[in-house]
Structure 1
Amino acid sequence: MSRPLGLFLRRSRGALPSFTACRRPYSVGQIQQEATTATGSTADPSSSTASPLTPQQPQQPQQPQQPEASIVRRVPQRKPLPPAVDLEFENGAAANIDVYARSFKIRLPRPVSKRTWDRRYDFVHLRDCCSCPRCLDPHSKQRNFRTSDIPQDIVPTSMKWDGKELVVRWKNDIPGFDESHVSTYSHDFLRAPVSYAVGSTSQTRSRYMWKGTAMKKMQHWISYDDYMNDDEKFAKAMRHLSTLGLIFIKDIPESREMVEKIATRMGPLRNSFYGSTWDVKSIPQAKNVAYTNQFLGFHMDLMYMNDPPGFQLLHCLKNSCDGGESLFVDGFHAARIIQNRYPLYFETLQNFKLNYEYIHQDQMYHNSWPVIETHSNNKPSQPPQITRVNYSPPFQGPLRSTPGDTWGRNLRNFTKALSRFAKELEAPHNVFELKLNPGECVIFENRRVLHARKSFDTTAGERWLAGAYVDEDAVLSKFRVLRRDQPDAWFGAFEEYHRAQAAEREEAAAQEGNQPETAQEGVQEGTTMEERKE
């Protein structure tokens, strides 16, 4: 396309401005802003130098402006000052209380050493522990305040310590409590506020893990009369039940009602669809393998329930047929062997759950449990403590799989671990065998000791046992009462056994001409004598 010659000549002589090619149009305001940015000064839009017709140079990409560094002045935070507390020490008590802003520390003397127990309490915690008659009803033993009622700024105004009791008066107390309110805390309470719920009477209590050979020597028998009427001997029997998970009663009067009397000495009966008490007899077309004369392998009762009973009783009324011996094994001992020798199997048995069920016309029970349950003791150097074993093959139900190959691999690994666990349970040296005679009763911990029964012949005799359950909470409550009321019997329950065992070792060493050994048979988890010393 041809252009006019005049326009070409005028542009070539500079009469007309030349424009730089641009991909997008610029407005007048944008050109002015860019010119200002490039020159670093503000141009007057009315001046001729800022004309939009002035030839422009290509603009460099503009770098974003960095904000000015703000100056942050760090002001050190002052720790809150401790409250002004009037400290008093009486009866020669050492000045062993340190007060902080929101808490205090007290050094409690130990009765049998020069060392101390150092305990630190937040003021809110200390106020929450008050059990004076105004805070805790003397009759119902129920609180008259809520933890949420305690003000966050509560502090003591005075603390009086005489070596046995700490007396505290408060400032900014709970609304409704004036300055006349006084809190008193004993030495034992400050050392362990809930001492009755720990140690030898808790779910995580120390257990003596036994093999069948050890139980033959350690089996604890008590007569029915002593069990029912002698508190001291009853306390010793309960301490053996707490530690071994298995005791026996003899000389029981011949009556079907005796199992209920024996059970209620420990706590209320646990009811179920079997009844508050029940009979173990061989009957035709039984809904439970226990009601046959067949061999019954190691198992635990009522695993298909959400809260299986903690303790079980079996009172022998008749047992004149051939066979029918009772078998017992310590599930904790087998689990500890797996934990020490096969740690990967142990982890698998902790995580993989089995289904248990009881499905009949009138009942449909179902629940899931891992084979081994543990409690973390917050000590990395020590393994987790075994608290329960759940194992009942006769009542296992089908498992529910998940999509993918992972579940199948986990199942195969679990079956290997479960097979190893079953072999430990059934190892002959781990099994304690006993045939109950009429007038004898066994009490065992259902979540620890597994029981089994050999087959028996009912054509030439009869076998009849009466059974009952007691919940774990009820038995633990009885343990705590006995430890409080019968401390010598409770803590001295095993002294006779230890003395007899030491005498046997000394006698064996004298015959062989060696020094007596001090190691005890079995595996002791935790400590039991430390509790008594302290």
Structure 2
Amino acid sequence: MHRLRTSATLRQLPRAFSYSIPRRNLIATPSRFNSSVEPDSHDRLEEAVAPGVAHLLHVPQESSSSKGDVQNTISDVARSKTRADGILKVGKKESVWAGKEELYLHIDNSTTIKLPYTYLRDSCQCAVCKDQHSKQRSFRTSDIPKDIAPSWINWDGKRLSVRWANDIGGSEAVHESTWDRDFLKKPIFNTHRQHWSANCKPIMWGRAYMERSQHWVSYPDYTADDSKFATAMKQLQRLGLIFVKDVPDSRSMVEAIATRMGPLRNTFYGSTFDVRTVPEAINVAYTNQFLGFHMDLMYMNEPPGYQLLHCLENSCSGGESLFADTFSAAKVMKDRYPEEYKVLCDQRLGYEYRHKDHIYYNERPVFELDSDTDELRHVNYSPPFQSPLPPRDGNGHDTESVNKLRNALAKFTSIIDNEKHIFELKLNPGDCVIFDNRRIVHARREFNASVGSRWLAGAYVDTDALLSRFAVCKNQHPYVWTKKAQKGVVENNRDNN
């Protein structure tokens, strides 16, 4: 074991860099230096990096308990011309440090990342570790030896390669893992994150924007033109609302449109359903009455992600469809009424469906945030099926919290009920609307059922299916998904304010 040359190592560090630790990733470093570092090492390190960040770097050192481990700095190991287990080889000596249980990679002038050996080994995507056909892993995380360590490392500034000593199964065969720089710096495990690309973020709209820029695609293009279908899917992801036109006059068409996106979601209403006036209706949607803004099936554990309504007949007077973007309303609340916004993030509403053959109940906040990013993930709002207010935190009700909730809901409803936020149209036979049921609230004006008829065929598709479809479209038609944001976005923000 070579003695650590601390001074020489520190001179190899960049003169200055800023260091930040993003939430929940593997960019991290020890919180303090090991007390066995030479007294002047700390001073030298502070001279080598930006003030106030010296504690973020780790300089491995020799210890009596680490004999036989890969514990030397890269510069020391590279100077070694003879080692029983071979030379630990690197491309850029000043950019990599090998510790006892982790690797430190100075990836650019602003970032040094800590990569535990267990994490690196677990993330290997080679053909031995991940079947290239089934895409399934051939090992378990628990199979990785506790003392796994590199026997060889190479970093060329773009790719890191590691050969492992004492690998899984104790095999003597050489196993080499490689990772690209981009993955090491900012791995994207969840490709469904809306914020991963600026061109995939939701466009928050109001009436003026949607009247100018609603997206229509013909049924033949939707079913047969993959590029136009991908464009429609991008607009569905961004706007939460699109329309298909020229749909053949057949009750089965709603299923054909839905299954182009993913499997049908079956509910107690059936795999598809009809919206038309019936006597003694079990749902107000099956009457000719005014139907206020709501989302469907909020009382289920997993409400349907997307809804389709195909117009087959609509010769009655009235019956216009209304839509509003709750993401836009949430942004207005967050900007103008932050206290009320927080109430709707924290307090839950109960939703219920209680009939002879079906009893459902669930509680959820109006604004449902992503637990990792705090970005708005879903909105949950359905007054027709709202239950009495559930007790907060199981401690009953108090006047202050109930009043705050009422006031926050009043702010929210005043925004979505404002004509500036409502997009209205009357669906004609052959039109089909598709919308995000966890973002877009929909409503219907009263209609005269004594003259003419109104008949829509409906279906649901789950969020998982659409997230998968969006990701596939991104991969197969990247030019569609990398187009610059529409000019109307800035104008839309002005319209909504």
TM, length-normalised to structure 1: 0.72
CA distance in 2, matches of 1:106, 1:164: 12
8 Å contact kept, 1:280–1:465: yes
Matched, 1:134 2:105: no
What secondary structure does 1:241 align onto? helix
CA distance in 2, matches of 1:437, 1:469: 20
1:179 Cα offset (Å): 3.6
Using a 3 Å threshold, how does the CA distance of structure 1 residues 98 and 108 change in structure 2: closer, same or farther?
closer
CA distance in 1, matches of 2:321, 2:342: 31
Which residue identity lines up with residue 463 of structure 2 in the other structure?
A: E
Matched, 1:389 2:379: yes
What secondary structure does 1:347 align onto? helix
Which residue identity lines up with residue 134 of structure 1 in the other structure?
A: V
Aligned twin of 1:415:
406
* Residue 352 of structure 1, aligned match among 347, 371, 384: 347
Matched, 1:327 2:298: no
8 Å contact kept, 2:206–2:492: no
* Residue 88 of structure 2, aligned match among 82, 86, 89: 86
8 Å contact kept, 2:321–2:427: yes
1:95 Cα offset (Å): 6.0
CA distance in 2, matches of 1:432, 1:404: 41
* Map 1:258-269 → 2, pairs under 5 A: 258-269=253-264
Matched, 1:248 2:239: no
For the aligned residue pairs, the C-alpha RMSD in angstroms reads 2.8
8 Å contact kept, 2:208–2:492: no
1:460 Cα offset (Å): 1.4
CA distance in 1, matches of 2:320, 2:168: 63
1:100 Cα offset (Å): 3.1
Using a 3 Å threshold, how does the CA distance of structure 1 residues 405 and 279 change in structure 2: closer, same or farther?
closer
What secondary structure does 2:349 align onto? strand
8 Å contact kept, 2:294–2:441: yes
What secondary structure does 2:203 align onto? strand
CA distance in 2, matches of 1:299, 1:107: 51
Using a 3 Å threshold, how does the CA distance of structure 1 residues 103 and 323 change in structure 2: closer, same or farther?
same
Q: Which has the larger radius of gyration?
A: 1
CA distance in 2, matches of 1:377, 1:443: 29
TM, length-normalised to structure 2: 0.77
- Residue segments in structure 2 that go unaligned for 5+ positions in a row: 1-33, 38-59, 63-70, 78-86
* Residue 451 of structure 2, aligned match among 430, 449, 460: 460
Which residue identity lines up with residue 130 of structure 1 in the other structure?
A: C
CA distance in 2, matches of 1:174, 1:272: 46
CA distance in 2, matches of 1:404, 1:299: 29
Matched, 1:99 2:97: yes
* Map 1:166-177 → 2, pairs under 5 A: 166-177=160-171
Which residue identity lines up with residue 96 of structure 2 in the other structure?
A: D
1:176 Cα offset (Å): 4.3
What secondary structure does 1:442 align onto? strand
CA distance in 2, matches of 1:144, 1:76: 41
Using a 3 Å threshold, how does the CA distance of structure 1 residues 452 and 168 change in structure 2: closer, same or farther?
same
What secondary structure does 1:228 align onto? helix
What secondary structure does 1:207 align onto? coil
CA distance in 2, matches of 1:118, 1:486: 34
* Residue 148 of structure 1, aligned match among 135, 139, 142: 142
Q: How high is the sequence identity, in percent, across the aligned residues?
A: 48
* Map 1:144-293 → 2, pairs under 5 A: 144-162=138-156, 164-194=158-188, 197-200=191-194, 206-293=201-288
1:275 Cα offset (Å): 0.8
The aligned length equals: 416
Aligned twin of 2:493:
522
8 Å contact kept, 1:304–1:358: yes
1:252-304 deviations in Å (ceiling 9; x for gaps): 11111111111111111111101111111110100000111100000000000
Aligned twin of 1:513:
none
CA distance in 2, matches of 1:523, 1:86: 59
Which residue identity lines up with residue 115 of structure 2 in the other structure?
A: Y
CA distance in 1, matches of 2:105, 2:254: 50
CA distance in 2, matches of 1:272, 1:142: 32
1:249 Cα offset (Å): 0.8
- Residue segments in structure 1 that go unaligned for 5+ positions in a row: 1-74, 110-114, 379-383, 502-517, 525-534
Aligned twin of 1:67:
none
Using a 3 Å threshold, how does the CA distance of structure 1 residues 455 and 406 change in structure 2: closer, same or farther?
closer
1:335 Cα offset (Å): 1.4
8 Å contact kept, 1:209–1:330: yes
CA distance in 1, matches of 2:468, 2:156: 32
1:298-326 deviations in Å (ceiling 9; x for gaps): 00000000110111111111111111100
Using a 3 Å threshold, how does the CA distance of structure 1 residues 175 and 404 change in structure 2: closer, same or farther?
closer
CA distance in 2, matches of 1:276, 1:356: 22
8 Å contact kept, 1:310–1:470: yes
Matched, 1:442 2:433: yes
1:203-235 deviations in Å (ceiling 9; x for gaps): 996211111111111211111111111111111
8 Å contact kept, 2:391–2:397: no
Aligned twin of 1:490:
481
Using a 3 Å threshold, how does the CA distance of structure 1 residues 405 and 119 change in structure 2: closer, same or farther?
closer
Using a 3 Å threshold, how does the CA distance of structure 1 residues 463 and 270 change in structure 2: closer, same or farther?
same
Which residue identity lines up with residue 125 of structure 1 in the other structure?
A: Y
1:386-417 deviations in Å (ceiling 9; x for gaps): 22111101011123448988623211221111
What secondary structure does 2:401 align onto? helix
8 Å contact kept, 2:219–2:246: yes
